[in-house]
Amino acid sequence: MIHVHPPPTTIMRALLIVDMQVGCFRGDPPRYEADTIVERINALAEAFRVRELVVYIQHTDAAEGLARDSEEWQILPMLCVGAADERLEKAGCDAFLETGLESLLRGRDVDEVVITGCATDFCVDTTVRFAAAHGFHVTVVSDAHTTRDRPHLDAPTIIRHHNYIWRDFLLPKGRKIRLVTTEECLGELPRGPASDT
């Protein structure tokens, strides 16, 4: 007897890199483990480019010191932006709010968003919640997002707290927000050149 197995479900993924901009990393206190976060995001973006989509989100707001095309608005120079990477602007904490991000993802048949960036407690958190509430499979790279110390909590505590909240975030139909480390995420991605078939 021949057993016919259905083909595996292909999930198109997009790596979202939120607000990793020059102006977001200036000032005191500094962003937590900024250099390490940049290294991890670079490694993830390089791996995603093999078959997946990479999207840089840039906050644009002159009142916040992030005027379009200003030095502060630019992506951190330590980040390696690929020629085919998408770039989108936003004006609020939510990378989906009044932007073309959802249309871009739906148009590319993206089922899963993998979220990294800055700041954990503002734009990253809001983007995670929107994506989850609107039916995307959401993966947060638990060691590839950052913030800075706040008056009431230090940055490591904020990061741990949000990872905890996201892991137990309630969604319908048994869906969950998945948390993985950079190493775990890299282990899930294909290596080598994309196949033509």
CATH number at residue 54: 3.40.50.850
Structure confidence at residue 1 (pLDDT): 46
Instruction: Give the confidence band of 190 by pLDDT, cuts at 50, 70, 90.
Output: confident
The answer as to whether 49 is a domain residue is yes
Looking at the 3D structure of the chain, how many domains does it have? 1
Tell me the average pLDDT across 13-32: 97
Burial class (CB in 10 A: 0-12, 13-18, 19+), 118: buried
Instruction: Give the confidence band of 5 by pLDDT, cuts at 50, 70, 90.
Output: very low
The answer as to whether 1 is a domain residue is no
Residue 181's domain comprises 12-188
Q: Is residue 4 predicted with pLDDT exceeding 80?
A: no
Q: Is residue 171 predicted with pLDDT exceeding 90?
A: yes
The answer as to whether 7 is a domain residue is no
The answer as to whether 5 is a domain residue is no
Q: Residue 75 half-sphere exposure, CB side, CA atoms within 13 Å? A: 20
pTM check: above 0.75? yes
Q: Is residue 3 predicted with pLDDT exceeding 60?
A: no
Q: Is residue 57 predicted with pLDDT exceeding 80?
A: yes
